[in-house]
């Protein structure tokens, strides 16, 4: 994460010396003063343009990876992901509604209002509830296959509602479309401050339940015999993970596959225990998305590739591999 932080700030249309960037970052610590050798213009590039973008990428990646790991533990489904369960689609519908109604009211401000994460959270909770209910409809067991199919159906329905809303508010089409592809290009300290409290709440709740997630993997009956309340823990984790996903989606758009790539990679490196996977998901999820954003804005420079396109490019083959190993039919 530290290497990614320095690299994300140092490289771009204007390349800055990594040593100078590291020194300037240390200067942000109270009581520390190091001569970085950078001029005022370069320092402004760091503090006003690149640092908020990289910090936002770290927060968004951490939330998406943490939510993906939590969903996989709650549903005991290795393919569970905020996007595959319809959570991101529900959050996207909520954000689209706020953008459309805001523009219709003539309030086309540059910054996203505080109500956006709340609207995204409502949409995310509705989506995951629909997926859970549909996956168990008819008394069938909620297997990985039925939950994924239910998530696809819910996502399609919510995407149709979102498309209808966009057609009824054409003046918002460009803004919504740019947001849908996933973006950190317009990130500022306002977006960081908007996401930070939601990230803190989500992280505190999910990380506090990491031992409970390990117990849930053995089944509800065994968990109850060990003194755990499975449904209470499950609902708490779902709400917390949905809150983090909604907040991340509201400021960055739809960025997929982070919740699958990072937790599965960590399982190979650190083992299956959620006591390790959850805290490591925060670190590696943030580093992964910040590194992906660096790739997106430098590989085709001076043009910039939407970060959602890059994560899909890497995530789709990864998902295919996981799907094959999971033997989901």
Query: Under DSSP, is residue 17 helix (H, G, I), strand (E, B) or coil?
Result: coil
Most confident range (mean pLDDT) of 60-64, 114-118, 251-255 is: 60-64
188 touches 267 (CB < 8 A): no
**Which of the four pLDDT bands, split at 50, 70 and 90, describes residue 110?**
very low
CB-CB neighbours of 316 under 10 Å: 11
| 21-57 pLDDT tens trace | 999 999 999 888 998 899 999 999 999 989 999 999 9
| Rounded Cα–Cα distance for residues 29 and 176 (Å) | 37
Superfamily of domain 1-327: ABC transporter involved in vitamin B12 uptake, BtuC (1.10.3470.10)
Residue 43: the pLDDT is: 92
Output the pLDDT for position 329: 43
Tell me: cis bond preceding 302? Omega within 30 of 0 counts. Answer: yes
Total residue count of the chain as it appears in this document: 329
If one compares 225 and 325, the residue with the highest pLDDT of the two is: 225
**Phi-psi map region of 30: left, alpha, beta (phi>0 left; psi -120 to 50 alpha):** beta
Separation between Cα atoms, residue 298 and residue 220, nearest integer Å? 48
Could you report the per-residue pLDDT of 123-142, keeping only the tens digit for each? 888 998 898 888 877 666 66
Quick one: average pLDDT of 311-322?
83
Is the pLDDT confidence value at 120 over 50?
A: yes
163-213 tens-digit pLDDT: 888 888 877 777 777 777 777 876 788 889 989 999 999 999 999 999 999
Terminal CA-to-CA distance of the chain, rounded, Å? 37
How many CA within 13 A on the CB side of residue 296?
25
- The helix/strand/coil state of 9 is helix
Half-sphere exposure of 85 (CA within 13 A, CB side): 38
pLDDT for res 197: 93
Q: Where are the beta strands (DSSP E) in 107-266?
A: none
Quote the CA–CA distance of 127 and 27 in Å, as a whole number: 44
């Amino acid at each position: 994460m530290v290497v990614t932080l320095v690299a994300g700030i140092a490289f771009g249309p204007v390349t800055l010396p990594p040593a100078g960037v590291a020194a300037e970052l240390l200067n942000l610590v109270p009581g520390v003063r190091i001569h970085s050798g950078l001029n005022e213009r370069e320092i402004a590039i760091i503090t006003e343009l690149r640092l908020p973008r990289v910090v936002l990428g770290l927060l968004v990646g951490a939330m998406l990876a943490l939510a993906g790991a939590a969903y996989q533990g709650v549903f005991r489904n290795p393919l569970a992901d905020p996007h595959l369960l319809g959570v991101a689609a529900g959050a996207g519908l909520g954000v689209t509604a706020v953008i459309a109604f805001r523009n219709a009211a003539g309030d086309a401000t540059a910054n996203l209002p505080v109500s956006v994460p709340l609207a995204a959270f409502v949409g995310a909770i509705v989506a995951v509830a629909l997926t859970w209910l549909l996956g168990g409809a008819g008394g069938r067991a909620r297997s990985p296959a039925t939950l994924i199919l239910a998530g696809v159906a819910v996502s399609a329905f919510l995407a149709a509602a979102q498309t209808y809303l966009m057609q009824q508010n054409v003046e918002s089409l460009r803004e919504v479309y740019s947001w849908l592809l996933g973006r950190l290009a317009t990130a500022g300290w306002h977006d960081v401050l908007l996401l930070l409290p939601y990230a803190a709440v989500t992280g505190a709740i999910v990380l506090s339940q990491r031992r409970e997630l390990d117990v849930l993997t053995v089944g509800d009956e065994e968990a109850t015999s060990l003194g755990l309340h499975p449904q209470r823990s499950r609902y708490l984790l779902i709400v917390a993970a949905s809150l983090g996903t909604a907040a991340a989606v509201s400021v960055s758009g739809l960025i997929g596959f982070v919740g699958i790539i990072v937790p599965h990679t960590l399982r190979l490196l650190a083992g299956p225990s959620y006591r390790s996977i959850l805290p490591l998901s925060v670190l590696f999820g943030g580093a992964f998305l910040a590194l992906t954003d660096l790739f997106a804005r430098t590989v085709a420079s001076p043009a910039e590739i939407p970060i959602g396109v890059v994560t899909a490019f890497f995530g789709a083959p990864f998902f295919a591999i996981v799907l094959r190993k999971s033997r989901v039919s």
